[in-house]
Amino acid sequence: MAAFVSAHPLPALRLDAQGQRHVSLGAVIALAFPLFLNSSLQVVLNLTDTWFIGRLSTDAMAAMGACYFLIFVFFLLLGGVGMGVQTLVAQAFGAQRRSDAAHAAWCGIWGSLLTTPLFLWVAFNGPLFLNNFGLSDHIQTLANEFWTPRMLGGSVSAVFYSLNSFFNGISRPRYTFWTMVLVAITNAALNEVFMFHLGYGIAGAAIASSLSLVVGSLVALSIFWSKGFDSEFNTRHTWRPDWAGIKRVFALGIPTGLFPAMDVIGLALFQLMQVRISPVDGAATQIVMMLTSISYLPAIGIALAGTTLVGQSIGAGDKDWAMRCASVIVRMAMVYMGVLGVGLALAGRWIVPLFVSGHGAEAAAVTALALPLLWIAAGYQIFDALNLASAFCLRGAGDVRVPTVMLLILSWGMFLPLCHALTFPTGQGWVHFLPQWGWGAIGGWTAALVYTTVLGFGLWLRWRSGAWQKINLFR
């Protein structure tokens, strides 16, 4: 690529004594670290809800498990409008169009509110989605009690995404982090109040989650509306709905949310296959999946930094700098997830028994199976880092449609059929037109490794192709 001197300040720029440009690793870490911590807080939120619901009953825990992933999918699909804001804000900020950055956030807020009727319809039609899982009547009832109030907070969640995407896009993730801390603390306090003091049970957990997002959104909005942000970004005077801007947010946000939603569905089916084959395979898979989340969720923070750096570089008019920033993000993510993945595999003989109940033959079998799975998962995490970093850098450029189509084809056309074929022995699968080799969880995780490797390289090659350089989001 030809050398280019940007008309606007570049993110994470460091000049050496000879005036040569370098990506400042310190500046990248300063941006990524709060995002890293913010993503880690999602682990805390998940564990908090799980702990509180576990105090109710085993049936309540099963009911939450039955609908958790499906709720998450709807939040990603409909709430993706809020996720798309970060790219628009980062590009406007990089071009020094600060009022446009604030207006993009407002378009995200208005677009999020427009999803309210859809969330309301989904909230009050829980049985339509939950009746197909063969749940017992009692667990079905509990799942419906959790479903409705949790879904009622869907559009508020999208508003919260929009505001946090604004803060991330202007390289001020500390506001995102502290609002997430507030949400986590509020959620824990309201869980105790609604579940036990007011006696709402599992419905109280959902009410607490939705209300904590309301609190977080109001605080984030007050920061966004503050005098300091108004003087810098004109946030109080760019609020009027702009249908072209809202349409732009939807066009970018829906594929952005669809990408992780389809991946979540694929992984949920992968886990169900392992549970179907045997309790040992299911338990070992759950333990390994939980351990990989220790690296996966914080790594999303590193990848989000890539979205901001790429977006700001493109906004500043220097796509070559966007490429250089992305290379740093890819290396950081792969080193972090790779080192942690190998470390977990090496420490598996001490870590896995902490999550295995009992000391009988079945407990020993779970431990024995989880140990080799951790080594497969170590390879999986290296290429999952390549997948995450490449996808989020492409998102910063506004290139979301082709990556989403790529994921759909690979997840549903390769991963799930291969997982089914490698997992189930003859006669035990969900369908019988595929080969059935019966490797159990080893086969399922091997399929996951193959899928993530192909997807990671595919997204990285998409980034390296430079096709994203032809995209102009503000035409």
Find the radius of gyration of the CA atoms of the chain.
Answer: 23
Most confident among 136-140, 174-178, 217-221 (mean pLDDT): 217-221
> Can you tell me the distance from the alpha carbon of 473 to that of 475, in angstroms, rounded to the nearest whole number?
6
Confidence of residue 461 (pLDDT cuts 50, 70, 90): very high
| The pair of three-digit structure tokens given for residue 98, joined into one six-digit string | 């600060």
> Can you tell me the distance from the alpha carbon of 226 to that of 180, in angstroms, rounded to the nearest whole number?
19
For 134, counting Cβ atoms within 10 Å of its Cβ (0-12 exposed, 13-18 middle, 19+ buried), the class is exposed
> Can you tell me the distance from the alpha carbon of 344 to that of 292, in angstroms, rounded to the nearest whole number?
8
For 419, counting Cβ atoms within 10 Å of its Cβ (0-12 exposed, 13-18 middle, 19+ buried), the class is buried
Instruction: Give 475's DSSP letter.
Output: -
CB 116 within 8 A of CB 131: no
58-83 helix and 154-169 helix, angle to the nearest 10 degrees: 50
For 165, counting Cβ atoms within 10 Å of its Cβ (0-12 exposed, 13-18 middle, 19+ buried), the class is buried
- What percentage of the chain reaches a pLDDT higher than 70? 93
- Of 355, 226, 237, 386, nearest to 286 by C-alpha is 355
Q: Residue 121 belongs to what H/E stretch?
A: helix 116-123
- Of 37, 36, 31, 35, nearest to 13 by C-alpha is 31
**pLDDT over 80 (residue 1):** no
Query: What is the pLDDT averaged over residues 85-113?
Result: 93
Ranges 224-233, 289-298, 337-346, 380-389: which has the least confidence: 289-298
Task: Give whole-number Cα distances, 251 to 94, 114, 132, 245, 258, in Å.
Answer: 21, 14, 31, 10, 11
**pLDDT over 70 (residue 441):** yes
pLDDT value for 61: 65
Query: What is the pLDDT averaged over residues 149-172?
Result: 93
> Can you tell me the distance from the alpha carbon of 425 to that of 409, in angstroms, rounded to the nearest whole number?
25
Confidence of residue 140 (pLDDT cuts 50, 70, 90): confident
**pLDDT over 80 (residue 355):** no
Most confident among 41-45, 81-85, 257-261 (mean pLDDT): 81-85
Instruction: Please compute, for residue 406, the number of CA atoms within 13 A of its CA located in the half-sphere on the CB side.
Output: 22
Q: Which tens digit of pLDDT belongs to each residue from 12-26?
A: 888 878 888 888 888
pLDDT value for 297: 77
The pTM of this model reads: 0.80
> What are the backbone angles phi and psi of residue 304, rounded to the nearest 5°?
-60, -35
Residue type, 215: V
H helical segments located in 192-278? 202-225, 227-233, 243-277
Confidence of residue 4 (pLDDT cuts 50, 70, 90): very low
CB 173 within 8 A of CB 34: yes
pLDDT value for 35: 82
- Of 273, 264, 271, nearest to 300 by C-alpha is 264
The residue extents of the domains of the chain are 22-241, 254-475
Q: Residue 25 belongs to what H/E stretch?
A: helix 25-54
| The pair of three-digit structure tokens given for residue 215, joined into one six-digit string | 């609190």
CB burial string 194-232: b at 16+ within 10 A, e below: bbeeeebbbbbbbbbbbbbbbbbbebbbebbeeeebeee
How much is the mean pLDDT over the chain? 86
Task: Give whole-number Cα distances, 252 to 104, 367, 406, in Å.
Answer: 12, 44, 16
> Can you tell me the distance from the alpha carbon of 335 to that of 65, in angstroms, rounded to the nearest whole number?
32
Confidence of residue 134 (pLDDT cuts 50, 70, 90): low
Say whether 22 sits in a helix, a strand or coil: strand
CB 43 within 8 A of CB 293: yes
